Amino acid sequence: MTPPPPPTSTAEPTVVPADTAPAGPRSTPTRPSGPVAGAALVLVGMLLVALNLRAAITSLGALLDEVRDGMGLSGAMAGVITTLPAIAFGVFGALTPRLVRRYSPPRLLAAAMVLLAAGQLVRVGTTSTVVFLVGSAAALAGVAVANVLLPLLVKQYFPHRIGLVTGAYSMTLTAGAATAAATTVPIAHLLGSWRAGLAVWAGLAAVAVLPWLPLALRRGTTRRAATTTEPTPARVRPARTRLGWAMAVYFGTQSLSAYAIMGWLAQLFRDAGFQPEQAGLLLAGVTALGVPIALLMPTFAGRLRSLRPLMLALSAAMAIAYVGVALAPHRGALLWVVLLAIGQSAFPLALAIIGMRARTTEGTVALSAFTQSTGYLIAAIGPLLVGILYQATGGWTVPIGFLAVALVVQTAAGMIIARPRHVEDER
């Protein structure tokens, strides 16, 4: 539900295809020694990080009933847990630009994956609700830092392949979410415990640390990132621009929908009469069907003169899916899963737009941090309010109505950011 993802020109603000964005004189990419081997290692590291960014969330969503019973959680507390990703992403994502000024991105990503692994282990090793929440927050803090850093790394290391690399890590992120949603319940049954079913994903996070260790230890990448980018960030303030706020609202409302779906869709299908394994597979289907879309969306979006028809099409798919799951969740489940997958491709589209709406790496990190931190704070009300409405009404009509209203806001914000421009031009 989570998730997430980067060359100075004086040209007028037109849509520059992401794959061909020119490099600029003010931004000096921080590259490891050995450009080809170093870039390949960065790419492998980015894909392993992306594989982890939603697994900790969708795995919990698939086992939410078992976690509620095992921890003795109320519906409201379950809503807090499903809201926690958005809160953590908003709070810790906002801190990431400050960390980038002191530490290199490879070092930050290595630390983020260690935190993700440790947090997942803590939450499955306790019977305390408070410790469970603390462990989950720690894990999600690592995800939050990685969310902001990946678009920056794409811009730095792959300035002429932004669309392709953004698509690759978006696809990997989606595949990781789908795999976790589909396999966590069977793993838990095989190992005899929901705790074991969640714990296996800490091992995947530990593997993602490995590519970043040699990069973090290299002298050229451990210098403060601010040595080449410090003058510009003070002048790129997305919070003072219409584009920045429109980006945050679009990202926030699509994330609100995504995390509500990741947290509650399996429960909705269980309530409709599906077995737990079937409900998990249907949830996995939403993300699995989005894998090829996530790969192609950034490059496709970068080549369009106007993004408005694409955004309207994605919103239409979501609207039809909402009506479907409200009226016929069992009979039309496969169709609604397909439409939800199409609609949720607004996420890789939003990641692509971050790079398309900034001219420089400094502008990219500023826009990425503001878009994602503010957007995830907006999204935080989604799973929580869905849980409260579900508990209060005993059904899904009112919660889905709330998500439909959020979709209207998302579409309106999308019409604003669809117009070609750059955040540096609105300073």
Region for residue 113 given its phi and psi (left: phi exceeds 0; alpha: psi -120 to 50; beta: otherwise): alpha
Please determine, for residue 276, whether its predicted confidence score (pLDDT) is greater than 80. yes
Question: How many CB atoms within 10 Å of residue 213?
Answer: 12
- Are the CB atoms for 262 and 57 separated by under 8 Å? yes
Q: Is the pLDDT of residue 20 over 50?
A: no
- Give me the pLDDT at residue 24, please: 39
Residue-level pLDDT at 18: 37
Name which residue leads in pLDDT, 82 or 219.
82
Write down the pLDDT at residue 232: 42
pLDDT at 235: 63
- Asked whether the predicted pLDDT for residue 286 surpasses 90, the reply is no
CA distance 386 to 397: 10
Pairwise pLDDT comparison (215 vs 29), residue with the higher score = 215
C-alpha distances out from residue 178 to 57, 59, 281, 291, Å: 11, 9, 9, 9
Q: Which of 129-133, 221-225, 262-266, 307-311 has the lowest mean pLDDT?
A: 221-225
- The alpha-helical segments, DSSP class H, found in 14-104 are 35-52, 55-62, 64-71, 75-102
Position 16 confidence tier, pLDDT thresholds 50, 70, 90: very low
Q: Return the minimum-mean-pLDDT range out of 70-74, 223-227, 232-236.
A: 223-227
The answer to whether residue 281 scores a pLDDT higher than 80 is yes
pTM: 0.72
The tens digit of pLDDT for each residue in 107-124 reads 999 999 999 999 999 998
- Answer whether residue 73 shows pLDDT above 90: no
Query: For 410, phi and psi rounded to 5 degrees?
Result: -55, -45
What percentage of the chain reaches a pLDDT higher than 90? 33
Write down all domains in the chain, each with its CATH number in brackets: 32-426 (1.20.1250.20)
DSSP type of residue 21:
P
Mean per-residue pLDDT, 119-136: 90
Whether the CA torsion 142, 145, 148, 152 is positive or negative: it is: negative
Residues 6 or more apart whose CB falls under 8 angstroms from that of 215 comprise: 32, 38, 41, 42, 45, 104, 106, 221
Average pLDDT over residues 392-400: 92
Residue 400 confidence (pLDDT) above 60 = yes
pLDDT-derived band at 319, boundaries 50, 70, 90: very high
Q: Please state, for a pLDDT cut of 70, what percent of the chain lies above it.
A: 87
Confidence of residue 37 (pLDDT cuts 50, 70, 90): low
- Averaged pLDDT score across all residues of the chain: 82
* For residues 135-163, average pLDDT: 87
Residue pair 61/283 in contact by the 8 Å Cβ criterion = yes
In this structure, of 205-214, 354-363, 384-393, the range with the lowest mean pLDDT score is 354-363
With 90 as the cut, is the pLDDT of residue 94 above it? no
| pLDDT surpassing 50 at residue 213 | yes
Q: Tell me the residue ranges of DSSP E strands in 180-287.
A: none
28: pLDDT confidence band, cut at 50, 70 and 90? very low
